[in-house]
Structure 1
Amino acid sequence: MNFLKSPQRISVVGTSGSGKTTLAKQISQRLRIPHIELDYLHWQPNWVEVPNDVMREKVSQALSGNAWVVDGNYSMVRDIVWGKADTVVWLDYSLSVVISRIIWRTFQRVVKQQEVCNGNRETWKTTFSRDSIILWALQTYHKNRRQYALLLQKPEYAHLNIVHLRYSYGVTSFDGDATRT
């Protein structure tokens, strides 16, 4: 099944390191619709978080169009994102896949000094600190899986087409087993 024939407002979710941004960019290019990365709306320079009310306003404005793909796991704006979305793509990969990806990505970003968002960069110091994105992925992996499984069953999200991807090989061709989980 090719799930990208009719969706126009797509939310891509999954644990940190699962490939949300990469997939959202590919969907954006394929469908020629805007890509909105929630990290850019949430993080100011020097890793300063915007207040929740500001974040909610920024997201509402960013999603005011008729077609978009957004990636991110911010519970403070989930009601806005999923309320406007017609499709949620849940990247639900194994812990080993997620951790290997996030370790590789983090080391690439640190070594190459790649910008993450708004001038922010990952450093060796943060990589090996309690603020490490790798540690964050480990700590939130199981909680996120349980949470999404429950959230996607809620009546307020019954309007959503759920694309639950458990294996990353299905993503390369944009084909997936669309299941209501």
Structure 2
Amino acid sequence: MGCSGSGKSTLARALHQELRLPWLELDSIHHQPDWEPLDTELFRSSVTDFMDRHPDWVIDGNYSKVADLVQARCTDIVWLDVPFPRVMWQLVSRSLRRVLFRTELWNGNREGLRNLLSTDPEESVIRWAVKTHHQFPGRFDRLRADPRMNDVRFHRLRGKASARSLIQDLTGSASASSSTRQH
């Protein structure tokens, strides 16, 4: 978990590669052509199907529509608690690259300059990050305090060094046990 631009997909990709686990990027199924959101029931069933097909997995994203499903079956929750200025740098530079190079994201969608400059958080990933960055400490603390999450390992990462350390730790434990799942 973490706000847009915190590095969720980058970390998930690294975990997927290092641990050789199936990876589901929630954005890739939620954002249908023309940025239309996938119907909630279809979204939930797609995530459930993925978890049913793979006993061990990596899932990245922050969708409340499926949080209960993923949290009920995860063994680890990773919060990328990246300082706001760093998030903004990563997000703005990533978005500018995507706009300039017309990078296709999911289902034919591309970030556009209009979206980048929009003041509407529903249209601009930058405005969305500004709106939501401050919400994650409370969300993380509530999850940790939830008795249903007692068997879940929580990881709070503040930068690239702690992310590399987590990957090394999990790579070591994955060789000892094949039952590591990441959220």
Indicate the TM-score class for this superposition, using the shorter chain for normalisation: 0.7 to 0.9
1:144 aligns with 2:136: yes
Deviations 1:95-148 (A, max 9, x none): 111111101110011111111211110000111112110010000000123222
CA contact (8 A) 1:106 1:122 kept: yes
- Structure 1 outlier segments of 4+, above 4 Å: none
Greater per-residue strand proportion: 1
- Give the Cα–Cα distance (whole angstroms) in 2 for the partners of residues 86 and 38 of structure 1: 18
Q: What are structure 2's unaligned runs of at least 5 residues?
A: 170-183
Residue aligned with 1:120, SS: coil
> Where in structure 2 are the equivalents of 1:1-181 lying within 5 Å?
13-64=1-52, 65-129=54-118, 130=120, 131-173=123-165, 174-175=167-168
Deviations 1:57-77 (A, max 9, x none): 111001111111010000111
Letter of the 2:19 counterpart = L
- Give the Cα–Cα distance (whole angstroms) in 1 for the partners of residues 136 and 22 of structure 2: 26
Residue aligned with 1:82, SS: helix
Greater per-residue helix proportion: 2
Letter of the 1:119 counterpart = G
- Give the Cα–Cα distance (whole angstroms) in 1 for the partners of residues 154 and 164 of structure 2: 18
Deviations 1:5-47 (A, max 9, x none): xxxxxxxx11110000011011001011111000112111110
CA contact (8 A) 1:93 1:168 kept: no
Aligned residues: 164
Q: Under a length normalisation based on structure 2, what TM-score does the superposition of the two structures give?
A: 0.85
- Give the Cα–Cα distance (whole angstroms) in 2 for the partners of residues 116 and 155 of structure 1: 37
Letter of the 1:149 counterpart = D
How far is the alpha carbon of 1:175 from its aligned partner? 5.0
Residue aligned with 1:36, SS: strand
Residue aligned with 1:170, SS: helix
